[in-house]
Amino acid sequence: MRVAVTLEQCWHRVPGGSARATLDAIAAVAQRGGVEQVGVSAWHRQPPPLPWRPPIPVRALPLPRLALYDSWQRWRLPRVERATGPVDVVHATAHVAPASTAPLVATVHDLHFLHDPTHFTARGVRVFTRFLAIVRDEAAIVVCPSEATRQDCQTAGIDDARLRITPWATAVEAVGASEVARVRAVYGLEDPFVLFAGTVEPRKNLARLTEAHRRLGDSRVTLVVVGPDGWGEDLPSTGVRRLGFVPRADLHALYAAAAVVAYPSLCEGFGLPVLEAMAQGAVVVTSANTATAEVAGNAALLVDPLDCDAIAGALRRALDDPALCDQLRDAAVARAATFTWDRTADALVSAYRAAVGTA
């Protein structure tokens, strides 16, 4: 079976967690027999930066990104086969559905734009809306990383028979004490610190997190924000350390070094930072009303992300209760180990086969 996989997000200014998860999933599928993957992108002068470089060959269509996106959405041209040759399945891994004569498998990471379109640009909402319409009309199989996304897809009119829950995973080994000491020294971090990791954008709820941090009233506790600059968020200049994008190895060591990892996002399709932090035995504070609660289970402190006092209270519990922290760390490591890329790859291959069966 030959599968074309869209990978244009690897060239985005902010590829994000969905790009990281897609690349790891591709690598896992590549270990399976019987599936040949070929990437599809717009035309670019250069390959994507090394952290986002795909592990499979990528074929470019002869249009730049915005022109390709518009052409796919409006006219359903050009077909991916123009770049890839014949394929059995085409997999849309981001928010634009490619044109193809092959059955379409589409990953819908989340439908947050339906809940709060003000968190996105007008163009972004148009792109997401058109993607959802195409998926509803054309997709043979729709891959959802969580039950929360599956429910949103069902509410949006996609029949349940086409929906497959396929959680993301992590395979990073626990970071050792020497790596923890190294990142503390490299970034000049002293204990204790609260870590947020993710793109700086409105739905990540950083405004309430920084307010909750302020309400702790403890100048010894620094809020450290890791991740690329996004849009729509102005963080305070005092009490917050911005590290920007850091290498992946450093990020996992920062998870292990943090007293608390806080991720009170307003809406997530999965919440990969929560899982990656748990794999490092981090004490996690995250949202109770989105997919991160599915990921965390009973291995994290769940809060109402709209309640600054609730966020601050969970941070204080994590900072002040060593016995609770020990319990959460053990539970986090055990739960994270159940999210494997082998399981994800099996589910994706099953989705591809099901899509072929609909042709």
Q: List pLDDT tens digits, range 36-70.
A: 999 999 999 999 998 899 999 999 999 999 999 99
- Domain count along the chain: 2
Query: Residue 48: what pLDDT?
Result: 95
Convert the pLDDT of each residue in 323-351 to its tens digit. Answer: 999 999 999 999 999 999 999 999 999 99
Phi, psi of 182 (to 5 degrees): -65, -50
Q: How many CB atoms within 10 Å of residue 298?
A: 10
> Could you give the C-alpha distances from 287 to 194, 209, 291, in angstroms and in order?
16, 11, 8
Q: Residues 210-228: what's their mean pLDDT?
A: 93
**According to the model, what pLDDT value does residue 319 have?**
97
- Phi/psi at 225 (5° precision): -110, 120
Rounded Cα–Cα distance for residues 84 and 99 (Å): 12
Cα→Cα distances 278→42, 299, 336, Å: 36, 8, 6
233 with 206: CB under 8 angstroms?
A: yes
Indicate if 199 and 116 belong to the same structural domain.
Answer: no
Same-domain pairing of 319 and 345: no
The answer on 116 and 70 residing in a single domain is yes
* Cβ(170)–Cβ(337) below 8 Å: no
Q: Do 124 and 140 belong to one domain?
A: yes
Angle (deg, nearest 10), helices 16-30 and 341-358: 80
pLDDT number for residue 110: 96
> Would you say 193 and 259 are in contact if contact means Cβ atoms under 8 Å apart?
yes
Residue range(s) defining the domain that contains residue 120 = 2-169+340-358
pLDDT band at 172 (very low <50, low <70, confident <90, very high): confident
15/157 same-domain check: yes
Residues 244 and 325 in one domain: yes
pLDDT tens digits for range 228-281: 887 656 677 677 999 998 999 999 999 999 999 999 999 999 999 999 999 999
Rg (CA), the chain: 20
149, 269 Cβ separation under 8 angstroms: yes
In 3D space, the residue among 110, 102, 104, 106 whose CA is nearest the CA of residue 143 turns out to be 106
Q: Write the pLDDT tens digit of every residue in 4-34.
A: 999 999 999 888 888 999 999 999 999 988 9
- Quickly list DSSP for 65-99: HHHHHHHHHHH--SBTHHHH-S-SEEEE-SSSPPB
Residues 108 and 205 both lie in one domain: no
Does residue 11 sit in the same domain as residue 129? Answer: yes
Give the contacts of 107 (CB within 8 A, at least 6 positions apart): 18, 22, 91, 92, 93, 94, 142, 143, 144, 145, 166
Sheet holding 139-144, edge to edge: 58-60, 36-41, 2-6, 89-92, 104-107, 139-144, 163-165
The answer to whether residues 118 and 238 belong to one domain is no
Residue 124 and residue 211 in one domain: no
Work out the percent of the chain whose per-residue pLDDT is above 70. Answer: 98
CATH of the domain at 99: 3.40.50.2000
146 shares its domain with 199: no
112 pLDDT above the threshold of 70: yes
pLDDT number for residue 327? 98
Do residues 131 and 65 share a domain? Answer: yes
Q: End-to-end CA distance of the chain, in Å?
A: 13
Contact 180, 138 (CB under 8 A): no
328: Cα separation from own chain's centroid: 23
Contact assessment for residue 276 and residue 252, using Cβ atoms and an 8 Å cutoff: yes
